[in-house]
Structure 1
Amino acid sequence: MADPLTETAPAARSSTAPTRGIPSRFAVIGVWFALCILYGLLKPELFLTVPTFQTIFGSQQPLVFLTMALLCTIIVGEFVDLSVAPLLGLAATIVPVLTVLHGWHIWLSCLVAIAATVLVGAVNGALVVFVGVNTIVVTLGMGTLVGGLALWMSDMNQVSGLDPEFAELALTKVAGLPVSFFYGLVLVSVFTYVLGWTPLGRHLRFVGANREVARLAGIGVNRVRFGSFVASGLLCGLGGVIAVAGLGGFNPTVSATYLLPTFAATFLGTAVIQPGRFNPVGTFIGIYFLATGILGLQLMGVPGWVSDVFYGGVLVVAVSLSTVLARRR
């Protein structure tokens, strides 16, 4: 399944197409608001509070970086990168291991962590693009490999004890929210600008839509695909650094729990703003839609397994909806 290019509608339809697309563009946002109203009616004393909304918008920053990393490869037609969550976990493990256990300077540890994820992203890209190995096979194997390395480095335990001042990188409050929320907002804004208003963005979309046509048009297809994997690794590393800054330590076993929400939010984003197309703003909205749904269920006291059902159900529905909307384009 490739992400389709934007097509120019015939003149006869140009005046009506935007209006006709409004309901589908904002349907998920409408459901999100309806969900907030429902939780507010059922648990007003718990849900309709400032701390609740601070939790929703202040705790999803690693997921924002992971979904943007996943979009880097999806947009060029490389679906199902299963290594993004383990890569974030690798970076978030390297920082406290080097800093706390080996006495490294914390910023040097951060650079090493990011360099490691960029290197893994480059290896993924080389194997997929230049060797021709299937994306799923490469990223599943590499994700398992780096996940194992993270467990080995941490001795399968949480490593904590980072300098509290380092937490300011993620937790400093701005307008009542941690500054890391605004990191994610800036990332999404920049990604949206690149995709919509730069030659690089057009090349990414073009390669994702049809590699052969893009190659005939003079685009360096392999270079674009390889660069997407490297960029994905970079974003995973940055997300890992921000995650460990906010937590003060990291348990690598937790990284696996990010994978399903990452895919669910990314595919749910295809139903928002640009129906049938992967887009950063839609994905950003999808993240907080899911966060609202899960937190509301937790406040209602449902069992823990319900979150897996919720994420899995949303992923199935989102992928199905993405397929239908893409066909309608």
Structure 2
Amino acid sequence: MRPGPRPRSPGRRLGHLIGAYGLLALAALLFLVFSLALPDTFPTLDNISAVLSNQAIPALLALGAMIPIVTAKFDLSIGYGLGLAHVMTMQLIAVDAWPWPLACLVVVVGGAVVGVFNGVVVEFAKIDSFIATLGTGSILYALTGWITNGARIVPGPQGLPPAFTDLYDSRFLGLPVPAFYVLALTAVLWLFLERLPLGRYLYVIGSNPRAAALVGIPTRRYVIYAFAGSGLIVGIAGVLLAAQQRIGNPSVGLDYLLPAFVGALLGSTAIKPGRANALGTLIAVVILAIGLAGIGQLGAQFWVTPLFNGATLLIAVGMAGYAARRQLRRRRTEPPGTRRDMTEVTS
């Protein structure tokens, strides 16, 4: 008979609560501080709506970047992929006069195909994910330049179809509809990663790929699935970026790369400390959105935004590493009867 799990001491329970919900408390604290500093502008519905609208695409991209991180891989091509998806949407709708639903579908499917290609290069060519996706990202950037010839794509006098721009500009329950896209994607990823076998397989591959292979998990296939999911979300974000900006800017995607990884890595320190997860990523993006909106309204110089993103990335990487090491130490000190058996994961 297996011994039952040892009850946690009050100190360990407090540490677990701080680790799991500390970022959520920090988000509430930041909102309170900026609301007190800017009582006439920051806590208003107009400001909240603007923040939700402006940060929807970075949030989607952070959720997309999180999926390969679950498998201990990194997709550095997401910024370049976002730029290509964005200009391809504008090219097909504004220049080639495609029906906008068909153009959006082609772009989203194309994003998934790029993700599959990334996964194949990483798994079958055995190239480190940093190098592989940086190389494919450079190719995507070259394709973006070839399509646009380095110039912006501007719609003609008739503009873009209103139904297409409404994908980003419409509202629901008084809030911008892109915020609901983010919530829906977070819910879908939470379901896949936390409640379905696919998510358990991805987490096992990320924590111990050799053990995953020994218990029969086809690691190559599932890593490719992870990159495909990331590419699919990048395609969706590119479509929404085109609906938001209404012009094709060949260099716009690179601005979203750093915030996406900040959100994904910082999110691995919340809710499920030590591993990437959808709810933690959403909370991390909320913190970034509140911080950027607050310092912007306080009149910060233009260079403060990249300083904020860079410093937060360093903090996020450090916190994520600490959370992962803390989780590993806790597992090593648990009695054998409380450890999760690998066979349970694959059942």
TM-score by length of 2: 0.88
**Residue 184 (structure 1) aligns with:** 182
Q: How does 1:278-289 map to 2 (within 5 A)?
A: 278-289=276-287
Contact kept in structure 1, 2:170 and 2:176, CA below 8 Å: yes
**Residue 169 (structure 1) aligns with:** 167
Q: Does 1:73 align with 2:68?
A: yes
The correspondence for 1:253, drawn from 251, 254, 266, is 251
What SS class does the counterpart of residue 159 from structure 1 fall into?
A: coil
What SS class does the counterpart of residue 12 from structure 1 fall into?
A: coil
More deviation, 142-151/316-325 = 142-151
Say how many residue pairs are matched. Answer: 321
Contact kept in structure 2, 1:56 and 1:288, CA below 8 Å: no
Deviation above 4 Å: which 4+ runs of structure 1?
A: 14-19
TM-score by length of 1: 0.92
What SS class does the counterpart of residue 21 from structure 2 fall into?
A: helix
Gaps of 5+ in 1: 1-8
Q: Does 1:139 align with 2:133?
A: yes
Letter in 2 for 1:42: A
**Residue 106 (structure 2) aligns with:** 112
Cα shift at 1:62: 1.6
**Residue 91 (structure 1) aligns with:** 85
Q: Does 1:63 align with 2:61?
A: no
- TM-superposition CA deviations, 1:303-328 (whole Å, max 9, x none): 01000110111110111011111111
- 2: CA distance, partners of 1:159 / 1:36: 38
Contact kept in structure 2, 1:98 and 1:104, CA below 8 Å: yes
Letter in 2 for 1:290: L
Q: Does 1:23 align with 2:18?
A: yes
- TM-superposition CA deviations, 1:171-197 (whole Å, max 9, x none): 221122122211111111111111111
The correspondence for 1:152, drawn from 146, 151, 158, is 146
More deviation, 65-74/216-225 = 65-74
**Residue 100 (structure 1) aligns with:** 94
- 1: CA distance, partners of 2:59 / 2:13: 28
The correspondence for 1:122, drawn from 116, 136, 144, is 116
Q: How does 1:205-284 map to 2 (within 5 A)?
A: 205-284=203-282
Contact kept in structure 1, 2:52 and 2:178, CA below 8 Å: no
Cα shift at 1:14: 4.6
Gaps of 5+ in 2: 328-347
Q: Does 1:195 align with 2:190?
A: no
- TM-superposition CA deviations, 1:235-283 (whole Å, max 9, x none): 1111111221233233121110001101111111122111222111010
Cα shift at 1:20: 3.7
- 1: CA distance, partners of 2:133 / 2:7: 42
Cα shift at 1:139: 0.7
**Residue 54 (structure 1) aligns with:** 49
Contact kept in structure 1, 2:80 and 2:141, CA below 8 Å: yes
Cα shift at 1:24: 2.1
Cα shift at 1:19: 4.5
**Residue 36 (structure 2) aligns with:** 41
What SS class does the counterpart of residue 117 from structure 2 fall into?
A: helix
Letter in 2 for 1:40: S
**Residue 304 (structure 2) aligns with:** 306
What SS class does the counterpart of residue 271 from structure 1 fall into?
A: coil
Letter in 1 for 2:266: L
- 2: CA distance, partners of 1:199 / 1:123: 24
Contact kept in structure 2, 1:90 and 1:113, CA below 8 Å: no
- 2: CA distance, partners of 1:313 / 1:255: 21
